[in-house]
Amino acid sequence: MLSLKEEVLRGIYEEFEKWSAEEIVCTKGCAACCTQNVLITAVEGELIHRFIRDQGKEEWMAAKMQEKAVTKRVQMTTNSFAASCLQGDDVIPESYGNEKPCAFLEDNCCSIYDVRPFSCRCFISEIICKSGVPAVIGETYLSASSAVMQIVEHLGQGEYFGNMFDVLLALCDLPENKKLMRLLSASLSNQGRAKVIKALPLPGFLLVEEEMGKIQPLLEAIFSHKVGDRTIENILNNR
């Protein structure tokens, strides 16, 4: 059974998917964007761990974690970046990941597709990406993705935030992941904890008025989405 936060996360994914009907060229088997440069929150990691446990694939997961590339400790979350921008600070987003292919890629397809994190869900393109030809996507879509990332981080505030494999390693110390923990070396799981930071609450959206108008229907759909008898807005405001 999913936790309340996992249910909320699923609701956010569902509403974003309904809203995003862009003209994209992404197809199954196209995976140049699948690098180890994906940032996630703990609740997104917990959903992935639950998926692995439910299938009894801990040994498979341990092998994937050994394939983890070297990453840097994250310095800023999406919400701390937004807070700095809103204060007028001059900040440049940094890359903390590694451009090596994601360890979850198998035959160029995502092996955890159903529970892939939001950063993967929102990464699309209007042209086929190639070496030297990055993804192209509309401004409104980019702004909406950033706003939803901020909501996802708000949901996981106070918990781990970082590169996907670092968060997954850090979460191995949860009692429900003890089987996986036994399969990993202590140094590997310590590495994950050393590289993650805490997710922060939403400081405000980085949206200009015109964008806010276009994205409002998505935000309203997310906030009014029901989980049980409560809306996501109510759950996020009554932590």
3-state secondary structure of 197: strand
Q: How far is the CB of 220 from ligand SF4 (least distance, A)?
A: 27
Q: Which stretch binds ligand SF4 (CB under 6 A): 31-39, 56-64, 194-202, 207-215?
A: 31-39
CB-count burial class (<10 Å; 0-12, 13-18, 19+) for 233: middle
Give the SS3 label for residue 124.
coil
> At closest approach, how far in Å is the CB of 170 from ligand SF4?
17
Count of positions on this chain that bind ligand SF4 (CB under 6 A): 20
Pairwise CA distance, residues 88 & 186, whole Å = 42
* 206 scored as a contact of ligand SF4 (CB under 6 A): no
CB 164 within 8 A of CB 49: no
- 26 within 8 A of 148, measured Cβ to Cβ: no
Contact criterion met (CB below 8 Å) for 76 and 153? no
Distances (CA, A) of 25 to 31, 127, 141: 12, 6, 15
**Interface characters, 63-102, with ligand SF4 (x: CB under 6 A):** ---------------------------------------x
* Interacting span for ligand SF4 (CB under 6 A) from 5-13, 105-113, 196-204, 211-219: 105-113
Q: How far is the CB of 112 from ligand SF4 (least distance, A)?
A: 6
Site string for ligand SF4, 37-56 (x = CB under 6 A): -x------------------
Enumerate binding residues for ligand SF4 (CB under 6 A): 25-26, 30, 32-34, 38, 102, 104-105, 110, 112, 116, 120, 123-125, 128-129, 135
